[in-house]
Structure 1
């Protein structure tokens, strides 16, 4: 490959399988030393916590082909001639995240790049969600990102260099059946933008990205649709092209963002798809407003002006945004 990340040390959370695995392999091929991570040895076929799906033999074989853990990813990097060590532990635990940073420093002398990719999820209506199910999504994704950032930032600031890449999802717009996951990913976007502003001038950049590719989660979703009576033809036709391709082709962009060459890029939210798209998300903006006379609203005025002016010609159904 190249020496783009030569001498850099990267931690990639949730890198036992899926997009995280491909990010770790890609950065290693560009010269980075890698700490791979997932919660514990081994992996499950089930992408959704506290959920059990009855897979067909074909589905099971396909999912098994993309599963792995921190050790298997580290082993692959070593076979490719790179340097890597595995770390098993839950990034959602503050002290564990600190030990992950220590592992990078103890083995490689520094930490330059954090890829907050780890995520746990539960699928279902908010009517059925309890505190534990909420915490499953929010702790691993949002608190986990903060934990790694908190422990890594002092060293990054001292060395005058750092790259933080936070994985979000287009679920940050609000996705039916994934309320906690959507909230966690919206939090990632805000955290990344705010941290980028706090860290300007330090040599540390913070960016977020929304990836779309064929992963274990998509295979689980497809199996769920099948169990609901949706035909395989309909599932295939309804899936975006990016969901039919594995992620290795899109992850070089993250290696680029982690390099010296991307020093001026910070506070951005990018869209990455496995069929070749790289996009930049816009920031939200007020698209219509109304003003009260003398700054005071009455209920009678609101009854007239909200539907008649504020929401006129807007598709109210868009208040519930469903994305794939």
Structure 2
């Protein structure tokens, strides 16, 4: 089943998607449906399918849900090889990458819909996309094992990245911040996990084809099954020694083979294809889930950031 959130004639609705369009489930949100449990959510969806649909062409698709948190992992070895060279000039994959599925927290209030415009962040000259799949946690969990790691469903994620800002701030060794928090696309809807089980391979990975194009030219193509860890391991690691809530979003990290421009820049040593510019259209499709398509627009021009003051070592007032 496909759950979605959309805007139509000034009203925001949640419900399910069919070939006919979107069917509303009154008085709830997709996050509340996730928290109600899969069986309850599906029952509500099946009832909604009996009502007339609003054509998809008549609605604006919003992010499928408003998650409590968004964690973004880095699970594709090929991506690490290329983007590390582009961001910090180092070659190869850090040994630490193989030890655990590293992630960072990104901005849950900066989510945009499947077809929304995306503004270039202030001061950015090297804007980039990142093709990912995100899993939505199905239950409140604390230190789950991979066998206990319940996933409600999956959606497409584009982790928009200001590469020049990211490279500068990561010199402080705290990870990306303003280089990553301007926008994250989620969409077009949330596909329940059972719908994708036919794609699961013998090693437990989802072998979904992933493609990304810019202005109609394909830039990247990979299989989701090239992840270093399956999503169940990501859920277990995210909840290790702490608490997860139903509705938390976990990004796979960017796929390889052109899943972002920075990977290609690092591999080839040149800015080709060039950074994204206003007017560029980025389209991502993941097999079994759907397609998101965003246009890049000019962002706000803001004053430069003030530098730190001259350092002091005073110990008394």
- Normalised to the residue count of structure 1, the TM-score between the two structures is 0.26
- Normalised to the residue count of structure 2, the TM-score between the two structures is 0.26
Higher relative contact order (CA 8 A, sep 6+): 2
Instruction: Name the one with the larger helix percent.
Output: 1
Q: Considering only CA atoms, is the larger Rg found in Structure 1 or Structure 2?
A: 1
